[in-house]
Structure 1
Amino acid sequence: MNRKRRGFISTFSLLTFCVVFLSIISYSILGTKVKALAEEVSKEETEKIVYLTFDDGPTIVTKQILQVLQEEKVTGTFFVIGQLVEQNKAIAESAKNSGNALCVHTYTHEDKIYRNIETFMEDYHKCSDALKGLTGREVPKFMRFPGGSSTTMARKPVLKEIRGEVVDKGLYYVDWNITIDDSLARNKPAEILVSKFYREFKKNKKDRIVVLMHDSYYNKTTVPALKEMIKALKDDGYVFKNFNDIDDKELKILEERGLINKHEKKLDRQVNK
């Protein structure tokens, strides 16, 4: 074999080796990326998130709840009454400064706010202004109707119009899939609240949970119940977030679960039939 032919074979062998070597590396890198992507998707599918929410404060009970949240190193979302924000400014500031979300629950929480769209939105904006005065910035776009989005405080046709107005304004109303019924009687025994939570939790052990609780003056027993509930949720692997933590992806998930704007989701299904 002449020298020129040997040189050609050596060069060809080297090129073949390089191609094979680069292919192995490429497949290895691609495999690593695919594996990482699969793990990320799997994590998203299995991640369990809970939102602890408290209505009707801030009050002295809110202070006690904040202490529990701080001890447990978690945060929550407080749907506040504007009048009480103005009366208990220091407590509201403490809730804000400890990383919790403060959202609108109207200014007065009275039945008369459901008279019509104008009356409701006036009350909403009054609460929003009270929160702006406290925080110095725009309030979160999440709110909760007194009594929830299916409240019996309002006539159904009027409530439907109000919900539509809220959504048209770019706001999101928040409901829940677990309640401990702490608003149905003053200072229900803590063990009854915890028992109610466990029954609901067993029934609604889902990837997204919104727990409804209250921090009015008459909810002192919610405080000891809260600690046990947090422990149960931690033991079950839930991650704690509040409504300051909502990105577009999480917003979509909460909408799909019917925890945000649930009646609008039903309308979409009817329109798309």
Structure 2
Amino acid sequence: MIEKRRRFISTFSLFTFFTVFLFLLSFSIQDEKASALEKEPDSLVQQEKIVYLTFDDGPTVVTKKILEVLKEEEVTGTFFVIGQLVEQNKGIAEAVKDAGNAICVHTYTHEDKIYKNTEAFMEDYHKCSTAVKELTGSEVLKFMRFPGGSSTTMARKPVLKEIRGEVVDKGLYYVDWNITIDDSLARNKPAGTLINKFHREFKNNKKDRIIVLMHDSYYNKTTVPALKEIIKALKQDGYVFKNFNDIDEKELKILEERALINKHEKKLDKQVNK
């Protein structure tokens, strides 16, 4: 009788132990799931892949064709415009604006003389800025692009460094890129050549932020068919399309960290109007 009681107590104790163990284990699993759910939004943000399609040197008749492609693909882009062309082609420039694309300053003349000194450059910048403001009816976006990029050989290095510093001190942000299709290196390069160039660079630059440099000058007609293939490839790879109207402070910080904006500025607190 005593032996049976001992076996019963032993069995009951073992059963109780496993019951408590399973109960505690279930709480642990639930805590892990809750923790994972709390972390999920951050992980999704980190995994988000964004692409900015950018076009320099318009607006022209080529810009109209590019707008057709963007509309067909239901995406938008950012156009770094030449002020003179904005004034000459107001209808096209208005179409760029009305389609929800971003319009930013590139230059007014796109001539080498703007890199003579800081004063010459800023005078040209303000002329283009005025043309854009008259077009949009609102303050000009604080993003701009240097002709030739922030490391252009169009200017002497000491002068270019001074110009970059002046731009940043004015609260502006200069924009570079990490993919180019080289459509500005020759007039109307074959579309296949442009597409192949994109795929070579895209293969090596599948990052969470991509800025693609393209052009919409009169001599960039072949950029139009190439653009369709470029958009298709980016969509298939899961990229979200945004333009520079969409940039908030958080995204701005990410682009700065990736050296796609203000590439040569290491002290970000030097900037104003943040």
Please confirm whether the aligned pair reaches a TM-score higher than 0.5, indicating the same fold: yes
* Alignment correspondent of 2:27: none
Q: 1:249 & 1:182 partners in 2: Cα distance?
A: 31
1:57 and 2:34 equivalent?
A: no
Q: TM-score, normalised by structure 2?
A: 0.85
Of 31-40 and 146-155, the range deviating more from structure 2: 31-40
* Alignment correspondent of 1:115: 116
* Alignment correspondent of 1:217: 218
Q: TM-score, normalised by structure 1?
A: 0.85
Q: 1:132 & 1:212 partners in 2: Cα distance?
A: 23
Q: 1:158 & 1:36 partners in 2: Cα distance?
A: 52
Could you report, residue by residue, the CA deviation over 1:175-233 in whole angstroms, capped at 9, with x for unpaired residues? 00000000000000000000000000001110000000000000000000000000000
Q: 1:56 & 1:32 partners in 2: Cα distance?
A: 52
Could you report, residue by residue, the CA deviation over 1:13-46 in whole angstroms, capped at 9, with x for unpaired residues? xxxxxxxxxxxxxxx8x98874443111011110
Q: 1:88 & 1:243 partners in 2: Cα distance?
A: 22
Question: What percent of counterpart residues are identical?
Answer: 80
Large movers: runs of 4+ above 2 Å: 30-37
Q: 1:34 & 1:243 partners in 2: Cα distance?
A: 34
1:37 partner letter: E
1:41 partner letter: D
1:133 and 2:134 equivalent?
A: yes
2:41 aligned counterpart, secondary structure = helix
1:235 partner letter: Q
Q: 1:36 & 1:134 partners in 2: Cα distance?
A: 46
Could you report, residue by residue, the CA deviation over 1:48-75 in whole angstroms, capped at 9, with x for unpaired residues? 0000000000000000000000000000
1:258 and 2:263 equivalent?
A: no
Q: 1:104 & 1:187 partners in 2: Cα distance?
A: 24
* Alignment correspondent of 1:197: 198
* Alignment correspondent of 1:142: 143
Q: 1:33 & 1:143 partners in 2: Cα distance?
A: 44
* Alignment correspondent of 1:68: 69
* Alignment correspondent of 2:41: 40
* Alignment correspondent of 2:189: 188
* Alignment correspondent of 1:19: none
* Alignment correspondent of 2:178: 177
Could you report, residue by residue, the CA deviation over 1:132-169 in whole angstroms, capped at 9, with x for unpaired residues? 10111001000000000000000000000000000000
Q: 2:43 & 2:172 partners in 1: Cα distance?
A: 31
Q: 1:195 & 1:134 partners in 2: Cα distance?
A: 36
1:134 partner letter: L
1:157 partner letter: P
* Alignment correspondent of 2:101: 100
Q: 2:122 & 2:36 partners in 1: Cα distance?
A: 50
Q: Which runs of 5+ in 2 are unaligned?
A: 1-29, 269-274
2:195 partner letter: V
Q: 2:247 & 2:37 partners in 1: Cα distance?
A: 24
Q: 1:202 & 1:123 partners in 2: Cα distance?
A: 37
Q: 2:156 & 2:139 partners in 1: Cα distance?
A: 31
